[in-house]
Structure 1
Amino acid sequence: MIVCVVIFSTTFMYASEGPAEVSFVTRLPAEMTLKEISRNKLHHSDGRFINPLNSRHYRDFTELLKWKFFSTNEFKGLYKDDHVIEVSIDWSRVQSHTGLSITFVTHSTLMIMDKGTSILIDPVLYGLFWPIRDFTPLDESSRQIPDPAYILITHGHYDHLDKRSLKQFAGFSRHISPLGYRDILEDIGAQHITELDWFDAFNDGPRTIILLPCNHWTMRNPVTGPNTALWGSYVIKTSAGPTIYVSGDTAYFDRFTEIGSEFEIDLAVFNLGAYEPRWFMEKSHISPEDTVKAFIELGAKKLMVIHWGTFRLGDEPVHLPPVAIKEQMEKAGLSDRLVEIRHGETLFFDDTPGTGKK
């Protein structure tokens, strides 16, 4: 059980102070734009990074213990409905499509096919470590993903950056990440590495990949502490035409309208999962209600949610998030703008997102 708590500590908490008395969370004036924050490097601090989008400190170790050992899980009675579903993907069908498609592989792993160029996001293909159970394991053929041209990493938490999965593509793919992951990528043998700061862009002809701020943090090792590397979301301007926003792990923040003003987003993909209990998770992971709010503020045309159904990282059942987001979208009168997709399914874009067939 002690091992379990240490594992969870790398994903869900850190204290407000760490090595060298560095403050990891700050709050900047509301009148500053995200671009101004990024241009002035105000999220950089003495070899680490700080989160300017969150006014409060994150949870400390005592609060983690309180959650895991001394709080009541109101959802536990629903766990009996959670079940393992092996995921199978026909990659030949995905590859043969000549336009734009997006495949929900597992957890937060996405494969975007953009006119024959593949972009793999946060590949975690082999599950996590004990005692975290994998409810949507990939069958062997589904792990044999065609070599992607690009791999995007949102941040360093273990359910998003898996060295075993990345090593599978080390010699072929260009690995694109926020600042601070070069050592890890070189360690797994990656030959082509591009690190981005917030609002930096990687251009490939008519295709552009932009790293944006989000309200999160990162840590690989509790000894070295948090935020030795950066985290972020991505905007992908595809060569096929549509623009895709990938939130990465994020709590709600009040700048989605600003992002929506900068980019005309066709499909917003939000990480929705590990959001309960709210008293503990609200600083790291967005809720269903706030996902709808953020979607509206972005002005995106369609919404898709991932980061559910694979690992039980929060109190909620693994299959609850898609049910909850459907209810919230119905309440907002936006049911027709929700793309419902399950693990292993592919959305093939026609003229606009949401008109493709799975």
Structure 2
Amino acid sequence: MADLTKKEEYAEPIFVNGRFENPFPTWKQPGLFNLCKYFLFDSNESAILSQESLDATLPVLQPDFKDFQSSSPDGMRVAWLGHSSLLVQFDGVTILTDPIFSKRCSPFQFVGPKRFRDAPCQVSDLPPIDLVLISHNHYDHMDYHSIVDLQKKYGSRLTWFVPIGDKRWMEESGCTNVREMTWWQEETFDNHENIKVACVPCQHWSSRKAYLGVNQSLWSSWCVIGPTQRFYFAGDTGYCEAFKQIGRRYGPFSLAGIPIGAYKPRWFKRAQHVDPEESVQIHMDVRSEKSIGIHWGTFRLTHEHYLEPRTKLKEEVEKQNLQPEDFITLNHGEIQFITNSKTK
């Protein structure tokens, strides 16, 4: 870990008139005019050709969670459950990120963005889980039905970590044991005194009501620090200076989940969603030994081809002279065991 006795400026959220603001010069709030321009006039390459092509190019595997019943001392287990949902296990703790198992990421299940790849499992199939990390309150990251089902299954055994401003909504949805945190705040995890959770910055925005109620809650990425392994979850973000700060303060990381999709057109999405080139830069900034691409291949949210994030990621990894296994993608439901040097 970096020497925190040295003076360094760390990004802090701005709170003005009841709303949070990004402190980064790279931020630009998406406006209604550009949203209309995006939907009406931008070229869209995201069409899905056929179910057969999807099954061949982006298969959905049925995960076998038997190995998640006990933690290995030699590394980390990780499963990609679609979009930004990762199941990660290390140092005796099992973590779920931004869970969404619903058919649509929408306030309603009859309209809104629909999955073109089914969830590889449902909440009822999951192994024991200790904590859930929520990055922000957009519907593709804070899904009501998935949260309700998780709370019903695990009850008070489950601890929820959410950015400041989201605790009330979580509790109104039936959740107990909710920890609400702001950037750079750290807490020790219940019943796991050797596990530390840190809320850290990213560049995004929040709202559950389109352009009403914008930024009344914060957005964040997360670090989970164990005695032998470190995990970083980038959430949903545009590129900003915060990632170098995170790397200096909490890196190196054994594993990071970093978004690689939903980035076109760049004139509209750059501030809020990274492209694969920027994703690889985040991987290097936070000093991650291994990274997995998330936030792609599940919902048609933007205008790039559904396989472009994976292709562009491979190209950028090669361009930066990284090893192919340093930053990878998984199929839906695929489980990997990550072995690396033990980062302390």
- What CA distance in whole angstroms lies between the structure 2 residues aligned with 1:44 and 1:96? 42
- What CA distance in whole angstroms lies between the structure 2 residues aligned with 1:57 and 1:97? 42
In the alignment, what sits opposite 1:149? 130
Q: Which has the higher contact order (CA 8 A, sep 6+)?
A: 2
- What CA distance in whole angstroms lies between the structure 2 residues aligned with 1:197 and 1:88? 36
* Structure 1, unaligned runs of 5 or more: 1-30, 354-358
- 1:242-321 equivalences in 2 (<5 Å): 242-263=229-250, 264-321=252-309
Amino acid at match of 1:71: D
- What CA distance in whole angstroms lies between the structure 2 residues aligned with 1:126 and 1:68? 24
- Secondary structure of the residue aligned to 1:245 is strand
In the alignment, what sits opposite 2:145? 164
Cα contact 2:187–2:197 (8 A) shared by 1: yes
Question: 2:207 matched to 1:235?
Answer: no
Question: 2:325 matched to 1:325?
Answer: no
Correspondence for 2:163 among 178, 187, 207: 178
* Structure 2, unaligned runs of 5 or more: 1-6
With over 3 angstroms needed to count, the CA separation of the structure-2 counterparts of 1:112 and 1:77, relative to structure 1, is closer
Quote how far apart the aligned CAs of 1:56 are: 4.7
Amino acid at match of 1:219: S
With over 3 angstroms needed to count, the CA separation of the structure-2 counterparts of 1:327 and 1:140, relative to structure 1, is closer
- Secondary structure of the residue aligned to 1:244 is strand
Question: 2:64 matched to 1:90?
Answer: yes
Amino acid at match of 1:260: G
Quote how far apart the aligned CAs of 1:54 are: 3.9
With over 3 angstroms needed to count, the CA separation of the structure-2 counterparts of 1:327 and 1:212, relative to structure 1, is same
- What CA distance in whole angstroms lies between the structure 1 residues aligned with 2:120 and 2:327? 28
With over 3 angstroms needed to count, the CA separation of the structure-2 counterparts of 1:322 and 1:157, relative to structure 1, is same
- 1:1-358 equivalences in 2 (<5 Å): 33-34=9-10, 37-38=11-12, 43-73=14-44, 75-76=45-46, 79=49, 83=54, 85-99=59-73, 100-128=76-104, 129=109, 130-139=111-120, 143-170=124-151, 171-172=155-156, 173-204=158-189, 205-222=193-210, 224-239=212-227, 241-263=228-250, 264-336=252-324, 337-352=326-341
| 1:155-187 per-position Cα deviation (integer Å, ceiling 9, x unaligned) | 000000001101112223111101011221112
TM-score, reference length from structure 1: 0.81
Share of identical aligned residues, percent?
28
For the aligned residue pairs, the C-alpha RMSD in angstroms reads 2.3
| 1:279-319 per-position Cα deviation (integer Å, ceiling 9, x unaligned) | 11001000111112222222222222111110010101223
- Secondary structure of the residue aligned to 2:332 is coil
Q: How many residues align?
A: 316
Amino acid at match of 2:198: I
| 1:244-266 per-position Cα deviation (integer Å, ceiling 9, x unaligned) | 11111110112322221112222
Quote how far apart the aligned CAs of 1:274 are: 0.6
- Secondary structure of the residue aligned to 2:253 is coil
| 1:164-220 per-position Cα deviation (integer Å, ceiling 9, x unaligned) | 101112223111101011221112211111100111112131111101010111110
Cα contact 2:101–2:122 (8 A) shared by 1: no
In the alignment, what sits opposite 1:18? none
- Secondary structure of the residue aligned to 1:328 is helix
With over 3 angstroms needed to count, the CA separation of the structure-2 counterparts of 1:126 and 1:252, relative to structure 1, is same
Quote how far apart the aligned CAs of 1:118 are: 1.6
- What CA distance in whole angstroms lies between the structure 2 residues aligned with 1:223 and 1:255? 26
- Secondary structure of the residue aligned to 1:62 is helix
- Secondary structure of the residue aligned to 1:83 is helix
